[in-house]
Amino acid sequence: MLHPPNDDYVYVDDHLTEDEIDLICGVYHVHTDDNQTSLSSWWPRSNIWDIGGMNLGVWTPDNEEWYLARLAKLTHGEEGLKTSADWRNHVKRMKKTWRLRETLSQWRGSLRDHMQYLRRRSYTINVFLRTITVTALEAVPCI
């Protein structure tokens, strides 16, 4: 935030730097056995998150569900830091899961619509059959 003297305005830069993003994601520079450094983090970095299927530009209930599940695993020591390659593989699987979930949701909606159609159609057929039955009974002479 910048508030120059003799200026009535406050200037704000809401763009995060790479270092700020890395801090939020819990990025560590880990030395490997071959004297190189790899990036590992608690959370996927933005460049990796962007290639996954869950970055819709807003935080969704699915994002929250994933976040809470990951946080619980971290808290209980069931998971740890992931390398960039691990995160890439993870978000690719998330993307496939997201697509499957969307497809199933569409099928569920189509199936629900189809079942409603069949119920209406069944009702129409039942009314038609009752009408035929009543008409046939009326046509039968009483003995």
What are the tens digits of pLDDT across the range 74-99?
999 999 999 988 988 888 777 766 66
Does 65 fall in a domain? yes
Question: Which tokens belong to 33?
Answer: 């056995």
CB-CB contact of 18 with 27 (8 Å): no
Distance, in Å, from the CA atom of 99 to the CA atom of 87, rounded to the nearest integer, reads 18
Does 50 fall in a domain? yes
How high is the pLDDT of residue 125? 66
Answer yes or no: pTM beyond 0.75.
no
Does 7 fall in a domain? no
Does 143 fall in a domain? no
Does 8 fall in a domain? no
Does 37 fall in a domain? yes
pLDDT more than 90, % of the chain: 22
Please state the domain count of the chain: 1
How high is the pLDDT of residue 89? 86
pLDDT more than 70, % of the chain: 70
Top-confidence residue, 77 or 133? 77
Full strand arrangement of the beta sheet holding 82-83: 27-31, 37-41, 82-83
How high is the pLDDT of residue 126? 66
Cα dihedral 72, 73, 75, 79 in deg (nearest 10)? -160
Q: Provide the 3-class DSSP secondary structure of residue 52.
A: coil
